[in-house]
Structure 1
Amino acid sequence: MKQNILYSFRVLVLITLCVTEQVFAQAGEETPVPVPVACVRRHIETLASDEFAGRSGASALMAAEYVTDQFEKLKLQPVFAEESFLQVIPGPVDEAGNSTTAGWNVTARWTPAGAQFPNEYLIVAAHHDHLGSRKSGIYYGADDNASGVAMVVEVAKSLIRSDIKLDRSVLFVSFDLEEHLLFGSRWWTAHPPVPLEDIKFVIVADMLGRSLGDLPIDSVFLCGAEHGSGVRKTVSKIPFADTVQPVLLSDDFVGLRSDYGPFRDRKIPFLFASTGQSRDYHTMVDTADKIDFEQVAAISTGLARLIVAIGNQQKAPEWIESPEIDPSEVKAILEICRQIDEHAVEWELTAIQKFFVDQTRSRAERILSQKTITPEDQRWLTRTTQMLLFTVF
C-alpha cells in the first residue's frame, strides 16, 4: 500500500511539473513550444511499468488505450470507422472458425485552422508494442519503444498548443506489432485511413533516450532524408538542442529497422529518428531509469520544429529513388568506429570484430580523402555498416 501511495504521489508531481512547464513554454513562442521533460518522463515510466507488462497482447491493448486517451485529451480527430482512434489488426481464424484480433493501431488527425493544403498529410509515428512478459520476467521496453510513443504524444501536444501556422494536416500514429515483422504498420499502409498518395512525409521514431551501444555519442540519427527532395537541407536548419546533435545517415546503412519500412516501400519520403540500439536492446533491463529524459524531450522538440518546417513548404518533398550519400554520413560512420575502438576492451571484442572495425575505419578515412564518393564506395559502405550493426552491437 505504501509503495502504491508513493507511486501515485510521484505521478501527481510529474503531471504538475508537466502542466507547469507547458504553461511557461507557451508564452511568446512563434515556433512549437518546447516539449517538457516531465511529460516525456511520465509517459515512459507509465508505459514501461509493471502494470503494462511489456505491452504485448492484452497489455498492448492497454498501451493503445493509453495513447487513445492522450489523443482524446488533446481533442484530436479519430480517423477510423465509428469515430474510433483504434484500427483493429485481424489475427488468424481460430479452431472454431471465429475471427481473432492480433493487435490495435492508434491514429488521430489534426488539421490546423487555415491550412493551405488540409488534404495533404504529414505523419508522426512510433510503435507501442514490445516483447511482453515471460517466465523470466517483464521486458519493459522503455527505450524500445515507450520513448518513441512519448515523442508522438508530446509532439502532438506541442503543435496543438502552439500559436503557429501549419499548412498541412498531421496524423499521429502509434503502431502495434512492430516486433512481429512490422505487421501493424504493414496493415495500416494496406488499409490507410487517408489515401496514401496524400501522405507527403513520415517521421518514425524508435529507441530514443539511450545511445548506440551505450557509447558516449550525444546524437540522434536521422535516416532516410536522402530520399526526400530538400529534406537534408531542411533538417540542417532545424535547431534541436545543444545536448543533441542530429546526424544524417543513409537508411541503407541501417537496413530495415522499424515502421518506416512500409512507407519506404511505397516511395513516400520519410525520416527514421533513433539514438541507436543500446546494449540492453530486447532484454529485461531496458527500463525507464536508464532513459535520458532530457534527450527525448530535446529530440521531440526538434522533430516538432521539423514538422512545421516541412508542413509549411509550398512544395512537399518528392521521392528520390537513387540518392548519393553525403560525406557527413561517412564522417558519422568514422566517428562510430573511433568510439568502438576506445571501448574495445570494455566490450571484450573478439579479434575478428576488432579487425572488422579497423577495416571499416580505414576504408572510411580513405573515402573521405577522395574528391568524390564512387558508387562502389557507396555499396561497400552500405554492406559494411549493416554488418557492423549486426556483428558488433
Structure 2
Amino acid sequence: MHDASIRPPKLASRVVSIARLVPVATIATLLGLSAGEACASEPERTNLERWVRQLASPELEGRRGEGARKAAGLIVEEFQRLKLEPLFQGQYVQEVPPAPPVEVLGRNVGAVLRGSDPSLAERCVVVSAHYDHLGVRQGVLYPGADDNASGVAMMLETARCLAGAIEKPKRSVVFLAFDQEESGLYGSRYFAAHSPFAVENIELFITADMIGRSLGGVCGDFFFVMGTEHVPALRPWLTEAAAGRPVRLGILGADLLVLNRSDYGPFRTRKIPFLFFSTGENPRYHAPSDTPETLDYPKLTEISRVIHGVTSRAADAPTLPRWNDRTDNPIEEALTIRDVLRTLDANREKLKINAAQGFVIANALRTLDGVAGRGKVTPAERSLLIQAARVVLMTTF
C-alpha cells in the first residue's frame, strides 16, 4: 500500500527533537518537505480499524439508545485525550431535545482545535461524521461499520493528526460527531440552528458517510466527492490530495442523488461551502451484514488521508473560496458517471440489472461517449444524465 508519509525513523525523531529550537518552516525547507509534512502524521490504518471495530461492536448496540450514549462517551474521552477544547460552552455534548417525529434525546459531540492565527482563529473548518445507526431491531443487531463508523474513525484520526502537529493550523478546526442522522438529519439540523458560534464563520464544512467499501460492491477504487459544484476552486485541492494514492477520485454534483442526503444538507441549505465524501451504497447498506471485517481498510485509510490533506490545506489557506449560487459541472463529472455506468454494466449479472435498467444505462453511455468526444456537456444532456443516474442508482441498490 502506497504511503507517502513514511520517513526514516531517525529522520522523524530528529524533526521532533529540534522542533523547539528551529522554526518548523525552516525544518521543512531543509528536509525538502512542506510544513504540513514536517508537522503531522497521516491517519493510520491500525487506528481507523480499531475505531471501526469498537464503534460497530455489539456492546454499542448499533449506536442507538444506550449504545449511542456509550458511543458519545467514547468520542468525548478521545477529545479529552487529545486535549481539544469542548465546543459547547465548556461541554463536549450538545443535547438534542426530542421533537416529532424524533422521540428520543440525541447527543451531538463536538470539540475545537483553536487556530493559531489571531486574524483567522474565529473562522473555522468543520470535519464531521454521524455516529448513530439503526440499533437492534427485532433482536437483530445492525452494526453500522461502514454506515458510519468508517466516517467517525476518519474524523477522530484527523483530529489526532492535527492536534498532534508541531505547528497548529491557522484557522480553528471543529470536530463534530452528529447523532440522529438516520432520523432525517435531525442532529445536524439541530446543530445548524443552535450552533455555539455563528455558522457564517464556517468557511468549509467537510463530512463523510460510508467511506469503507465501493459503490454496488463493484466500483473498486472509486470514491466520490460532492459539493465542488458550488466551490469549483476546491477541485485542484482534492486532485492534489489524491495524487499518487491507490484510490480514484470522482467529482459529482449533489443533485445527482436526492439532495441533502446526509449531514451536509443543513449547511448546503445555508450556502456554506461543503465537501461530502462517500464510496456510495453497496449490498450491505442498512443490513445486519455491515460488519467490521467486511470493510476495505486500505481504501478507508487512503480516503481518510485525502480528507486530512484537504482539511490541513483549508485550515492554513490565506483565504478560502466562497459559495457560488451558479453551479459548475465540469466534464470530469460526466466522465466519472460514464466510468461508473460502464462498471455497473459490466457487472449486470452480479447486480441483477434488469432489461429496463440496462436500456437506461446503454442510452446514457451513448450520450456520455458523445460528451467525452466533444469535451463538453450541455444542460440538456446533464439533465438526462441526472435522470439516468437516479434511475440506475435508486433501483439497483
TM-score, structure 2 normalization = 0.87
**1:206-355 alignment runs, 5 A limit:** 206-239=209-242, 242-256=245-259, 257-355=261-359
- The equivalent of 2:93 in structure 1 is 86
Alpha-carbon distance change, 258 to 161 in structure 1, aligned in 2, over 3 angstroms: same
Query: What is the rounded CA distance, in whole Å, between the counterparts of 1:181 and 1:23 in structure 2?
Result: 47
Amino acid in the other structure paired with 1:42: R
Is 1:386 matched with 2:393?
A: no
Query: What is the rounded CA distance, in whole Å, between the counterparts of 1:306 and 1:330 in structure 2?
Result: 23
Instruction: Give 3-state SS (helix, strand or coil) of 1:119's partner.
Output: coil
- The equivalent of 1:30 in structure 2 is 38
Instruction: Give 3-state SS (helix, strand or coil) of 1:267's partner.
Output: coil
**Aligned residues of 2:192 and 2:266 also touching (Cα < 8 A):** yes
Query: What is the rounded CA distance, in whole Å, between the counterparts of 1:45 and 1:378 in structure 2?
Result: 40
Shift of 1:368: 2.0
Instruction: Give 3-state SS (helix, strand or coil) of 1:246's partner.
Output: strand
Amino acid in the other structure paired with 1:69: E
Query: What is the rounded CA distance, in whole Å, between the counterparts of 1:31 and 1:341 in structure 2?
Result: 45
**Aligned residues of 1:132 and 1:139 also touching (Cα < 8 A):** yes
Q: 1:4-50, CA deviations, whole angstroms, 9 ceiling, x for partnerless residues? A: xxxxxxxxxxxxxxxxx999696554264121111001100001011
Among 139, 142, 145, the residue aligned to 2:145: 142
Is 1:76 matched with 2:80?
A: no
Bigger mean CA offset, 205-214 vs 320-329: 320-329
Q: 1:90-132, CA deviations, whole angstroms, 9 ceiling, x for partnerless residues? A: 0149xxxxx9752100110101434640000100000000000
Amino acid in the other structure paired with 1:287: T
**Aligned residues of 2:85 and 2:111 also touching (Cα < 8 A):** yes
**Aligned residues of 1:32 and 1:305 also touching (Cα < 8 A):** no
RMSD, matched Cα: 2.3
Among 362, 365, 368, the residue aligned to 2:369: 365
Amino acid in the other structure paired with 2:378: T
**Aligned residues of 1:240 and 1:246 also touching (Cα < 8 A):** no
Query: What is the rounded CA distance, in whole Å, between the counterparts of 2:371 and 2:232 in structure 1?
Result: 25
Is 1:132 matched with 2:135?
A: yes
Shift of 1:160: 1.4
Bigger mean CA offset, 378-387 vs 328-337: 378-387
> Aligned residue pairs: how many?
368
- The equivalent of 1:3 in structure 2 is none
Alpha-carbon distance change, 26 to 187 in structure 1, aligned in 2, over 3 angstroms: farther
**Aligned residues of 1:35 and 1:301 also touching (Cα < 8 A):** yes
Shift of 1:207: 0.1
- The equivalent of 2:125 in structure 1 is 122
Shift of 1:166: 2.1
Query: What is the rounded CA distance, in whole Å, between the counterparts of 1:366 and 1:210 in structure 2?
Result: 31
**Aligned residues of 2:215 and 2:282 also touching (Cα < 8 A):** yes
Bigger mean CA offset, 340-349 vs 21-30: 21-30
Percent identity for Structure 1 against Structure 2: 34
Query: What is the rounded CA distance, in whole Å, between the counterparts of 1:26 and 1:275 in structure 2?
Result: 33
Query: What is the rounded CA distance, in whole Å, between the counterparts of 1:316 and 1:202 in structure 2?
Result: 12
Query: What is the rounded CA distance, in whole Å, between the counterparts of 1:342 and 1:245 in structure 2?
Result: 18
- The equivalent of 2:178 in structure 1 is 175
4+ residue runs of structure 1 moved beyond 4 angstroms?
21-28
Alpha-carbon distance change, 26 to 184 in structure 1, aligned in 2, over 3 angstroms: farther
Shift of 1:357: 1.6
Instruction: Give 3-state SS (helix, strand or coil) of 1:238's partner.
Output: helix
TM-score, structure 1 normalization = 0.88
Query: What is the rounded CA distance, in whole Å, between the counterparts of 1:151 and 1:348 in structure 2?
Result: 32
Shift of 1:239: 3.7
**1:93-108 alignment runs, 5 A limit:** 101-108=104-111
Instruction: Give 3-state SS (helix, strand or coil) of 1:30's partner.
Output: helix
Query: What is the rounded CA distance, in whole Å, between the counterparts of 1:371 and 1:310 in structure 2?
Result: 30
**Aligned residues of 1:130 and 1:145 also touching (Cα < 8 A):** yes
Bigger mean CA offset, 286-295 vs 26-35: 26-35
Amino acid in the other structure paired with 2:304: S
Query: What is the rounded CA distance, in whole Å, between the counterparts of 1:121 and 1:23 in structure 2?
Result: 34
**Aligned residues of 2:331 and 2:375 also touching (Cα < 8 A):** no
Among 65, 74, 80, the residue aligned to 1:66: 74
Shift of 1:379: 2.1
Query: What is the rounded CA distance, in whole Å, between the counterparts of 1:157 and 1:26 in structure 2?
Result: 17
- The equivalent of 1:18 in structure 2 is none
Instruction: Give 3-state SS (helix, strand or coil) of 1:336's partner.
Output: helix
Query: What is the rounded CA distance, in whole Å, between the counterparts of 1:371 and 1:357 in structure 2?
Result: 20
**Is there any run of 5+ residues in structure 1 with no aligned partner, and where?**
1-20, 94-98
Is 1:39 matched with 2:47?
A: yes
**Is there any run of 5+ residues in structure 2 with no aligned partner, and where?**
1-5, 16-36
- The equivalent of 1:193 in structure 2 is 196
Alpha-carbon distance change, 77 to 387 in structure 1, aligned in 2, over 3 angstroms: same
Amino acid in the other structure paired with 1:204: T
Amino acid in the other structure paired with 1:89: V
Query: What is the rounded CA distance, in whole Å, between the counterparts of 2:392 and 2:48 in structure 1?
Result: 31
Amino acid in the other structure paired with 2:293: D
